Chain A
Amino acid sequence: MKTKPFAAPYAVWMLLFTIVPIALVAAYSFTTADGALTLRNMANFLDPIYITVLLRSLGIALLCTLICLLVGYPAAYVLAQKDFDKKGVLVLLFVIPMWMNFLLRTYAWLTLLESNGLITSTVNRVIEFFGGQGNVRLLYNYGAVLMGMVYNYLPFMVLPLYTSLSRLDRRVVEAAEDLGANRSQVFLRVVFPLSVPGIFSGVTMVFMPAITTFVISRLLGGAQFKLFGDLIEQQFLFTGNWNFGSAMSLIMMVLLLLSMSIMNRYGDQEGGGIF
C-alpha cells in the first residue's frame, strides 16, 4: 500500500501516452474526415490490394522470426555455456549495434548490397572464380528486405534466449547425464523444453516489430515490396487519410493481440510472454 503513490507518475504517463492515443486511433478508425460515424474505413480494408499487403507482411514476418530462431538459438546456446569465457564480450557485440539508430544501419546495408558494394562484388567474384556468371544482384528484392529485417531483429531473439538458457539449472542437466542420457537426449528432452519460455518471448519480441516493419522494406526493397507498416505510413504522411490509417493500425493491433494471446496460452510459464 505504501508504494502505491509512487505508481501514480507511471499511471499518468500510461494515460497520456498509451490509453489516450489508442482511444484516438479507435475514434479515428470509425469516423469520416468530418467526424461522422462510419464503418467505411474497415470496409475499405477488404480490398484485395490491402489484403495482399497484409498477407505479404505476415509471411515475411513469420519467415523472419523463423530465421532469427534458427540462427539465434545456437548462438544463445553457445553463449550460455558455463565454460565459455568470452561471453561478456560476445553479448556486448550483440548489443552494440543496437546503440546505433536502425535507419543508419539500414542505410549501411543499402551501400553494402549495391552492385558495386562490398558484399555483392565479393559474391560475384567468388561465383566468377568457380566459372559462373558473376552478375548476382542482391539489392531491391525480397531477399534484401528479409535480410534487413533479420539483421535488425536478431538481437531481440538472442537476448531472451540467452537469459532463459543461462538461468537453466545445471543440476537438471547433470541429473539427466547421470541417468544415462546422451548429449542429444539431454538437449532434446531437458534443455530444449526448459527453454521454451525463452523461445516464446524471443518469438514475440521479433514477430511484433517484424510485422509492423516499415522503411526497411522501402529502402532495401526499392518500395516494390510494400509491407503493412509502409501502408500505414503512406496514409498518414502522404495521402493524408488519417481515418483509414488509424483503421489499419487498429486492425494490426487486434491481430497482434490475438496472436499474442494464443502465444501466451501455450507459453505461459515463468520468464515467458511479455504480457
Chain B
Amino acid sequence: MKKLLPLLLCACLLCAPFLSGCTPAANEKPSSITVFNWEDYINPEIFDLFEKETGIKVTYTRFTTNEEMYLRLDRGGVNYDVAFPSDYMIERLVKNDLLLPLDHEKLPEFKNTYAWLQTPDYDPESKYSVPYMWGTVGILYNTEMTDGEIDSWGAMWDAKYLRNVLMMDSVRDSLGITLCYLGFDLNTRDETQLAAAAEMLKEQKRSGVVLAYGVDEIKDKMVNNEAALGLVWSGDAITSIDLNEGLAFCVPKEGSNVWIDGMVIPRSSKNPEGALAFINFMMRPEIAAMNSEYIGYSTPNEAAMAILGAEYSENPIFNPPAEVIARCKFFHDVEDALETYNRIWEEVMNE
C-alpha cells in the first residue's frame, strides 16, 4: 500500500497531459470548434446564437498581437479551427502553407462584402481569407491640448508636444507611419529608406516628445487627457471619442495604413466544416452588424452597414471616404526584411 500510493501519484502526473488531450471524442462527429481571435474583438452573444442554430459549440481563445498568433499556429501544437489574423500575417501564413483554402460554395454570405474588400491585394481572390473588420491607422488627438486641426504625421515629431505623444509598441505600425511621413512605401525593404526611418524614430525618442510606447493603454490614456497625441487604430479612436468628446481623429495627408483583420481556417483545423459554417454565420448582415456595433470597428459588410444606419455610415472614422482610403495602403509581409524591421525596433526601444 505504501508503495502503491506514490506510484499512483506518479502515474497520474505522467498521464495528466494526455488526459486533457483526448477529451474531445475523436471518432464521434465533431460538434465543436475552437476560435482564435483578438482580445475583446467579438460580441459574446454570437456564440449562443450560433450554437442554438447549428449545435456546434464554440471554444473561444484570444491573442494580443499578430506575431504571437503566428507563433502559436506555427509551433503551438494546438488546433484552432478559425483564426483572425491581419492582412500581412495572412500573406505570411499562406506562404508558409499554414492555411486551408476556403470553399466558397459554403460561404454564400460572402456576397455582402464591399466589392473593393473582396479583392485585397494580399489575397486577391479571397482564396484563404474573408474580411472580418477593417480600418485605418491615424492620430487620435486632444483638441484642447493641440492648436487647430492636425493633418500631418509631423505633429508627432513636433517639439511643442514634449512628453505628450503616445506611440505604438508595434514594429509595423510605428515604422509604417514613419515611412509614410518620409514619403516612402510602408512595405519597403530598401535598407537606406529603413535606416532613415529608424533614425527618425530614434530622434523622436531622444527629443523627448514620446511619453510612452503602448498598445491597449493608449486609448485609456488619451481618454484621461494624459497626452496630446496618440497613434491608434481607427476602431480605438471611435471608442475613445465616445468616452471623451475632446478627442478627434485624423488620417494624415502623407498617407497611412489601411488594414483588414480576416477570418481564416488554419491547416491544423480538426473541423473545417464547422469552421466554414462559423465564418459564413459571421458574415450574415445582422451578425456582422452586432459585432461591429459591439466592438466599434468598421464592418466590411455592405448589408450590415445598411442595418447600422446613418449614424455609422456617415461617421468618417467608421466609414472613411474614398479619398482617405486612396492614400492608405495595406501592409504586406516583408519576408527577409523582417529581421531588419525587428532589429530597428529593438534599437529604437533601447535608444
Contacts and interface: CB of A to CB of B under 8 A. Distances in A.
Interface string A1-23: 01001111100110010000000
Interface string B201-225: 0000100001111100100010011
Interface string A25-51: 000000000000000000000000100
Contacts of B70: 240
Interface in A92-147: 110, 114-116, 137, 139-140
Contacts of A221: 212
A101 to B, nearest CB: 17
Given A140-B211, A140-B212, A223-B169, A237 B2 contact: no
Contacts of B212: 139-140, 221-224
A183 B224 CA distance: 52
A137 B6 contact: no
Contacts of A236: 71
A224 B205 contact: yes
B3 interface: yes
Interface stretch (B8-16, B50-58, B285-293): B8-16
B342 interface: yes
Contacts of A234: 346
Majority-rule SS of B interface residues: helix
Given A2-B2, A5-B3, A237 B10 contact: no
B7 interface: yes
B342 A239 contact: yes
B64 to A, nearest CB: 9
B27 interface: no
A237 B68 contact: yes
A248 to B, nearest CB: 12
A196 interface: no
Most buried by A among B5, B14, B226: B226
Interface in A192-230: 218-219, 221-224, 226
A49 B342 CA distance: 13
A52 interface: yes
Contact of B65 (A6, A140, A219, A238): A238
Contacts of A240: 67, 70-71, 74
Interface string A236-273: 11111000000000000000000000000000000000
Interface in B125-183: 163, 169, 171
B67 A237 contact: yes
A181 interface: no
A53 interface: yes
A110 B211 CA distance: 14
A255 B226 CA distance: 39
Contacts of A238: 65, 67-68, 171, 342
Contacts of A53: 350
A69 B315 CA distance: 56
A33 B332 CA distance: 24
Contact of B71 (A49, A110, A226, A237): A237
Contact of B163 (A13, A137, A223, A239): A137
Contacts of B217: 110, 219
Nearest to B64: A237
Nearest to B163: A137
B347 interface: yes
A8 B65 contact: no
Contacts of B196: none
Contacts of A222: 210-214
Contacts of A237: 65, 67-68, 71
Nearest to A11: B10
Given A13-B13, A115-B226, A237-B65, A6 B6 contact: yes
Most buried by B among A5, A219, A238: A238
A6 B71 CA distance: 39
Given A223-B169, A240-B67, A240-B71, A9 B225 contact: no
A222 B205 CA distance: 12
B213 A16 contact: no
Contacts of A12: 10, 13-14
Nearest to A218: B169
A18 to B, nearest CB: 13
A223 B213 CA distance: 5
Contacts of B3: 5
Nearest to B3: A5
Given A110-B217, A114-B226, A223-B212, A9 B68 contact: no
Nearest to A49: B350
B349 interface: yes
Contacts of B10: 8-9, 12
Interface of B: 2-3, 5-7, 9-10, 13-14, 65, 67-68, 70-71, 74, 163, 169, 171, 205, 210-214, 217, 221, 224-226, 342, 346-347, 349-350
User: Which 10 interchain pairs have the tightest Cβ spacing?
Assistant: A222-B212, A223-B213, A9-B9, A5-B6, A8-B6, A140-B212, A238-B67, A223-B169, A49-B350, A12-B10
23 contacts: A5-B6, A6-B6, A8-B9, A8-B10, A16-B13, A49-B350, A53-B350, A110-B217, A114-B224, A114-B226, A115-B226, A116-B226, A139-B226, A218-B169, A222-B211, A222-B212, A222-B213, A222-B214, A234-B346, A236-B71, A237-B68, A238-B67, A240-B70
